[in-house]
Every structure is written in structure tokens, then in C-alpha cells.
Structure 1
Amino acid sequence: MSMEADPSARRARFVRDLPKLELHAHLNGSIRRSTLLSLAASHGIDPSSAQILTRWPSTLSEAFSVFTVIHSCVTTLSDVERIAFEVGEDMASDGVVYAEIRSTPRAMEGGSLDDYVRAVLRGFGRYRLTSGVEGVVLRLILSIDRAKHTAADAQDIVDLATAHRLAGVVGIDLSGDPTKGEFLTFLPALQRARSLGLKITLHAGEVANTDTEMSAMLDFHPDRFGHCCFVSDDNLKRLTQSRVPIELCLTSNLLSNSVGSAEEHHFGLHHANGTVCCISTDDSGVFGSPLSNEFALVMDAFALDERQAFELAKRTLEAVFLPTSDPGTEATEEERRDWSVRQRVRAAFDAFHRTWDWE
């Protein structure tokens, strides 16, 4: 029985120590503000022009404009590698045990799209070497940008993901400005990615009046959805029946005015419906909220106790882009490695359950 006098201190310790899985975090959106300032200075960019440094975005369009600022500061492969390394450090310090970080490959000074992917993976690898076995396990999802990419570009992203699977790429994401581009443009690439064994996550329902697109996405049946803020009653019924996990980012949705309040967030609906809800940050650097804070927010808004929050975090393991069963003796090196990771993450939850001072 806990004897901790200060409930707020106990809550802070619980959400920090709770093993957490981050399944919806954009690499550049997770940049440290100190790093952004440093990169702006090194590249001769006036930091006062970067709205990310002065206030939080208050609309979805403002959130996307922040990335223009970030991309103007992150211009070299060494910048990318630095951010990837620091993301590992920051997530580990916040109690994250496994993370699937997503990023859109882009050509940078002196480098190709392939070089970009390699830079991210180098950053992950350098973090792993410094952290040892106790650090967060980092995997990479490559994003197709619906606002900027063509169908051919999307196929190139699939090729990149396939080429780097052994190095830690686990899936494909469709993201970008939801008011631009068409889901069906990228469907052939997504179908090919699936046929090659890559997992798929789709940003969906980020803006209103996208019911037809959401219906087409449900027809495709991805491995995960992201956000799903605006879903019609008919599509909600299909979404619940599909049992597809949803990546939910409360602070992001609140600050971009996609929902009115934390208590009104659609987490409550999906959680009550039995859907696997993957609490995530989206862009911890942009929105200033690490994953521990997201868990504290959902606990407060929906009156979850510690055991309920533990089960919420643990159930996220059902949605990770890792093997769901022992691949056996004929498994590939990639399959054996990823099965070992799943076992390690499960062990982290078991250890926490044994050692936490449950009330």
C-alpha cells in the first residue's frame, strides 16, 4: 500500500516510470527547442521568425507551418542524425521503452533520399551504442507526404522502406496536409508495401468533411489509423468493427483545435468501444508535451486510475509493427530480432507490474 503523501508527485512518478510505447511521433516535430535554436543560429536563420520558439500552434494549419520553419533549420544530414539521436535520449528519459518514429525522406545538401534514411538510422544506432540494452528501442516508419508526393514518389518511398527493413524500418505512413492530395493517388504504393510485408498507418479524419476518403481508407484496412478526429457515424461503426488500433494525440488535437477539450476527446469513445488506443505525442517539440504528460492528461480527463492506465499502455503492444508470435527456427534475422524486442517490451511491463507500489 502506497504511503506517498503528495498525490501529484505520485502521479508524476507513475506516468514517468510507466513503460510506454510511442507509436505516433514525427521525427522533426520531436526536435528539442534548444536544438532548433542552435541549428537556426548555425544556419544563419533569425530565431525570432520561428513561431515554434514563441508560442504553441493554435490551428492545424499553423502546426503545418511550423514544419516549414523546422525544415529551414534542419538542412544537413548531420542535423538529421543529431535529432534522431536526441529523440532516443529524450524518450528514454521519459520512460518510453519502444518507439516507432516516422519521417518523410527528403533530399538535403549533398544527399539523396536514401542518405536521409541512413542518417536517421545512424542517429538511432549511435543512441543505441551509448544507451546499451537499457535504452528505448527505436524503429523507423517512412512517411509519404500526400501534399507533396506523386504516385511515383510514393513508390520510391516503398522501395526505400524495403531496402532498409533489416536496419530498422518497419512500415509506411501516409501523412501531410490533409486538405491536399488524394488518398487514392497513393493506394497502389500502399498496396505494394503491404504485399512486401511492410505495415501501414494512415493519418485519417484530421479535418471535417472527409467521409468518402475515410470510407476508402477503411476499405483498405491499414494496420493502424492516426488521429480520427472527424468520423461520421457510419464510418465510426465500421472503424469500431474493424478493430484497427488508433494512434491518439490529445495535446496535438487540443492545440490545433481539432477537439474542444480533453474531456471531449474521442479517446473516451474509442476506449469504451474496446478499440486499442495508442496514446502518442505526435510532435513533442512542437506541442511541448512528452508521452508521460499525455498519459497524465488522459488519466485526468477520463478518471483513469493507475491500473487502468497501466492496462492502456500495455495494450498498445498489440499495435506495434513487430511479430505477434514466435517466428520459429526458420525465421529471418529481422524476424528473430523483432520478436526479441517484443519479448523485451513485454518483460518491461511485467517488471513494472511486480514492482510498482499499487494502491
Structure 2
Amino acid sequence: MASSLAEFCVQLPKVELHAHLNGSLSPATMRELVERKKAEKPELAEFRIPDSLEMDSFFPLFKFIYKLTDDEESVRIATRKTIDEFAKDGVKYLELRSTPRKNDETGMTKISYLEAVLSVIEEPRTDIIVKFIISIDRRNTLEEAQEVVDLALAFQSRGIVGIDLCGDVKVGLFNNLRPAFERAKENGFPLTIHFNEVIENLGEAPDVLSIKPDRLGHATFLDDYCRQVIYKENIPVEICMTSNLVCKTTSVLKEHHIKELLNDNHPFILCTDDKGVFFSEASNEYRLAGETFDLSRNELFEISYRSINAIFNNEELKTGLKKVWLDWKKEHASEF
């Protein structure tokens, strides 16, 4: 074969459906934003930006990133750089996600934050298609959650394709925010829910599944009831192997819950979660899956190809993407 597995996984056309914007910032993007802001905030230049994954120090990195993206121009830079990097890594269709944020000090509002992100997503390009998922944080009040739905409706025509439940898995209850998600569904928004990341979330799982989400993030811990419903409803799972390892919801990759989905031929999408913070791009997630579970290049292609079915978009676009994938496979037949 002409290329290594790592090179093949970069070349392979990919779909990315679980990527948090702020967690996707690379060290290079962080440094660019520091240079832009350090005159006003010299303390930012004192923060040591890591060049590789440091298992126990990524939480302070998130706090640092939020300080870097606290104004509209910084958000535009962060969004554009992140999209560029996904495209360079062979991602052809990307659904970025973020919770609308405000900053009283800079005057950034939730509306201007969204305007900044979407203005970049709308920039014409031929190498990647980008859409946006707007996130509701588990820590939100119902009023705040409904505000997110209001924003989704206001900006729907500008590329918002779904609504997400995210945030600290040990805080808040889905049922407290349920009316917002019901209203989102009534208005035609697909739902993706961060689901059962920790075993403590099993108690609310029946409530989450009863709303009939369109995709599930992580789904790390499944009891018999959850597995039965998810399989019956054929709900795709967004799999983030490196993230789960770093966050210690799986101890070793060989024991990752993706193996059950592989064995049962249940639909899943290999995703990055936070490619910048966890130092793992989409191609690396494919490489890890291939090496860990002894998957052939054809099997990796099929995982990527089937992921197209899970995107939050219309059948016409899915059909077009599938043609791109099949044309690529034909052109790169020698790599298989």
C-alpha cells in the first residue's frame, strides 16, 4: 500500500458531528489569539499553552480558551481556523457546536456571538460543508434553555441544523429543561443529547430516550433498557474515543464501548469532541479505531460512509456526499 494507516486516515473523506468549537482550538490558534489580546490582557501571555496532551491539566485550558474567545473578532478567528484545520484533515462535512456566550466586559452578547460564528460558517468554500448545532447547557435554567431555542429559531436559515444538550454531566436534570427540547422538536430541530457519559446518568436515561433524540453523544454506559431502545430506534451514537480515555470514562481503548456497537453493527460516528484540548484530530480517531480493533481500510471507509446517514441535513445533500465518498474510493482503489 502506498500510504501508512495514519496517512490513509487523513486522506479518507470524513464526517465530524461532535465537535465543540472552543474545545477544538489548536495551540496555534490559541497563540494567535494571545498575540491579538496580550497588550490589553498581559496575563494571557503568561499561560503555558501545551504542545501535547497532558492528561491532568486540560480543565484550566478550557478556562483559558474562554478568555481568548470573549469578543466577536476572536470568535471569528477561532471559528475560521478551526474549520480550516478540519478541512485540512480531510473532513468534508462538519457540524460544529457551541453554547451561545456573552461577556459583559467586551460587550459581546449571545446574539453577537452567534452572528460571529455563523458569519464565518457562511463564508463560501469548496473543500468543506459546515453547519452549526446550538447547545443548551445542563446548568441552564429553563428560561435560559428557552432563550437558546429562540436563538435557534431566529438563526435557523443561517445554518443551524440541530440542538444539543451538553455541560457538566453531574449537574442539572434533563427533565428540568425538557419543555425547551420539546419546543425545539415541534419546530423541526433534530436533537443530539450528551447521554450516559457517567454511570450516574442512567437514572434519567428513560426520560431522555422518551423524547426520541436523533443522535446520542457518547452513550458510554448502557443498561439493557437503554440498549434495547437505542437499537430498536436505530439511534446513531457519536463516539469520541480519545475524549473518553482522557476523561476516564473508559480505562483502556480496547475496552471502549465502541466494541459493542461494532459487534452489533449499530450506527455510530467517529468524532473528536475537543480536538484541540485532547490533541486528536478526526483522522487520529480513525487511526485509533483501526489499530485498536484491527479494522481494515475498507471497514474504516464504511464507517465514514455510513456516518453520512446521521448528519442533520436533507437527503439530497446526503446523496451528494455519498457520491463524493464513492468517487474518492474509486480514485484511491490502490490504497485498499
Deviation at 1:112, TM superposition (A): 1.9
Deviation at 1:63, TM superposition (A): 4.7
Deviation at 1:74, TM superposition (A): 1.5
Residue aligning to 2:330: 354
Deviation at 1:45, TM superposition (A): 2.7
Provide Cα deviations, 1:156-188, integer angstroms capped at 9, x if missing partner. 111111111211110100000001111111110
Deviation at 1:88, TM superposition (A): 1.4
Taking only the aligned residue pairs, the percentage that are identical comes to 32
Number of aligned residue pairs: 329
What runs of 5+ residues in structure 2 fail to find an aligned partner? none
More off after superposition, 187-196 vs 35-44 = 35-44
Distance 1:65 1:212, change over 3 A: farther
Q: Is the 8 A contact 2:218 2:238 kept in 1?
A: yes
Distance 1:270 1:17, change over 3 A: same
Deviation at 1:243, TM superposition (A): 0.9
Provide Cα deviations, 1:72-102, integer angstroms capped at 9, x if missing partner. 2211110111111111110110000000000
Provide Cα deviations, 1:263-310, integer angstroms capped at 9, x if missing partner. 111111012222211100000000001000000000111111011111
Residue aligning to 1:87: 82
Distance 1:287 1:58, change over 3 A: same
Residue aligning to 1:305: 296
* Equivalence map 1:222-241=2 (5 Å): 222-241=213-232
Matching residue within 13, 21, 25 for 1:19: 13
Residue aligning to 1:124: 121
Matching residue within 48, 53, 57 for 1:56: 53
Deviation at 1:241, TM superposition (A): 2.2
Deviation at 1:57, TM superposition (A): 5.4
Matching residue within 65, 68, 71 for 2:66: 71
Structure 2 residue 137 is the aligned partner of structure 1 residue 142 = no
Q: Is the 8 A contact 1:19 1:97 kept in 2?
A: yes
What runs of 5+ residues in structure 1 fail to find an aligned partner? 325-338
Q: Is the 8 A contact 2:100 2:134 kept in 1?
A: yes
Deviation at 1:343, TM superposition (A): 3.5
Q: Is the 8 A contact 1:248 1:279 kept in 2?
A: yes
The 2-side partners of 1:298 and 1:118 are apart by: 36
Matching residue within 146, 149, 168 for 1:158: 149
* Equivalence map 1:1-359=2 (5 Å): 2=1, 4=2, 9-41=3-35, 42=37, 43-49=41-47, 53=50, 56=53, 58=55, 63-108=58-103, 109-126=106-123, 128=124, 132-133=125-126, 135-147=127-139, 149-324=140-315, 339=316, 341-356=317-332, 357-359=334-336
TM-score, length-normalised on structure 2?
A: 0.93
Q: Structure 2 counterpart of 1:166, which letter?
A: S
Matched position secondary structure for 1:174:
strand
More off after superposition, 117-126 vs 82-91 = 117-126
The 2-side partners of 1:86 and 1:28 are apart by: 11
The 1-side partners of 2:292 and 2:329 are apart by: 23
Q: Is the 8 A contact 2:216 2:237 kept in 1?
A: yes
Provide Cα deviations, 1:302-334, integer angstroms capped at 9, x if missing partner. 11101111110000011100123xxxxxxxxxx
Deviation at 1:47, TM superposition (A): 4.5
Provide Cα deviations, 1:39-73, integer angstroms capped at 9, x if missing partner. 235232345545x63663536xx655532221122
The 2-side partners of 1:218 and 1:70 are apart by: 33
Matched position secondary structure for 1:285:
coil
